[in-house]
Amino acid sequence: MTTEIRVPQLPESVADAVVVAWHKRPGDPIRRDENLADLETDKVVLEVPAPSNGVMREISAPAGTTVTSGQLLAIIEAGSASVAAAAPQAARAAAPAPAPPAVPAPAAAKGDDGRLSPSVRRLVEENRLDPTVIAGSGRDGRVTKSDVVEFLDKRKSAPAVAPAAADRAASPAPVLVAPVKATPSAGAVRAEKRVAMTRLRQRIAARMVEAQATQALLTSFNEVDLTAVQDLRARYKDSFEKTHGAKLGFMSFFVKASIEALKRFAIVNASVDGNEIVYHEYYDIGVAVSTERGLMVPIVRDADKKSFAEIEREIAGYAARAREGSMALEDLTGGTFTLTNGGVFGSLMSTPIVNAPQSAILGMHKIQERPMVVRGEILARPMMYLALTYDHRIIDGRDAVQFLVAVKDYLEDPGRMLLQI
């Protein structure tokens, strides 16, 4: 009996996906729940699991194909993987032995000592890659699936130049070099390299242009003295981590302060739908996370009902999954307000772009000691510039400024968040 493998149902916000890689070939045995292929959408990389044991019979959408929900990907012959694969294995046994791979299997030749996850290992071995030349963005420099996918994209887009005859025997793989272009006026040779945008990068670009084109964006600034927050963290960070199993960071304070300010200025938590303003009576807070593939904004849902510890654990979990390329689509959909922290990269001030269809975004920046006048004295204080970019179509300047001042007040006196005053 044959079974059709089709593209899983994609969310309404995702139009299509690209088949990035197949981990099985026609004739290969398949075990239930084994990952057959990777599909890249404009948000995440999806795995296509095998519904049952069997053998791969036919691939209908090879790597590089753009597919939509329900489209046929492959056909498998259902049954026992060992029995179904007996004939193809016998045929392969009778055929001449294939030449050894150009690059040795990474686990054996490179000694990755188990640092590659099973899905990453399959992708590396399938494409005969050397994992030591792939920059890892995971924890402790581990290579993630998104790292391998990006490496393959770059390799496909870069032309290969055949090595000299004397070097062919020693060279295990094609040498990839950047194409060169001569400048007629100067006669100099300058290198260039063209790399196709990933679907995530294309989606980010489209959303940024859409936000600029459809919203009346304006940015207001303020600064906040984080002395009280730093003192609280220094006093309780060890006991907090011991009690809750999570580190006490700055982000939970900013999420909580934003929620209290959003309760006072509901228009900042609203969105535009045609000629209507939609007031959201819940607080799903997006937290921008930077990855090697681009910016992702996972959502902390019902953040107003969660404790500091729950928020910190959820954000840490999202950050880890984003780096590993295992973020789920539902983690990235929705949201009523977003926070983004350019300060981790050293940004002192910026104007973030609203994550449409939301109407506002709060930008955090680098904490820097500056001289401030405090009760008539000049003191060094840990200061941060805050930026609120908002859709001026529905948010007036007064509401935006007062919202920003409210966030500042809650952070400078965190006890107000506990007392909700």
Range 190-198, long-range pairs (CB < 8 A, 24+ positions): 193/158, 194/157, 194/158, 195/153, 195/154, 195/157, 195/158, 196/153, 196/156, 196/157, 198/40, 198/149, 198/150, 198/153, 198/293, 198/294
Q: Is 280 a catalytic residue?
A: no
Question: Pick the catalytic residue: 33, 231, 238, 396?
Answer: 396
β-pair type (360-364, 337-341) = parallel
β-pair type (285-287, 337-341) = parallel
The answer to whether the CB of 222 falls within 8 A of the CB of 363 is no
β-pair type (54-59, 72-78) = antiparallel
Q: What is the largest CA-CA distance in the chain?
A: 90
The answer to whether the CB of 201 falls within 8 A of the CB of 154 is no
Distance, in Å, from the CA atom of 124 to the CA atom of 246, rounded to the nearest integer, reads: 33
Cis peptide before 357 (omega within 30 of 0): yes
Question: Pick the catalytic residue: 130, 392, 399, 409?
Answer: 392
> For the chain, how big is the Rg over CA atoms in Å?
26
130 burial type by CB count under 10 A (0-12 exposed, 13-18 middle, 19+ buried): middle
Structure tokens of 141?
A: 């420099």
Q: Is 392 a catalytic residue?
A: yes
Provide the 8-state DSSP code for 334.
-
DSSP string, 335-386: -SEEEEEGGGGT-S---PPP-TTBSEEEEE---EEEEEEETTEEEEEEEEEE
Other CB atoms within 10 Å distance of the CB of residue 373: 9
3-state secondary structure of 271: strand
Angle ∠(146,147,150) on CA atoms, nearest 5:
80
Catalytic sites, residue numbers: 392, 396
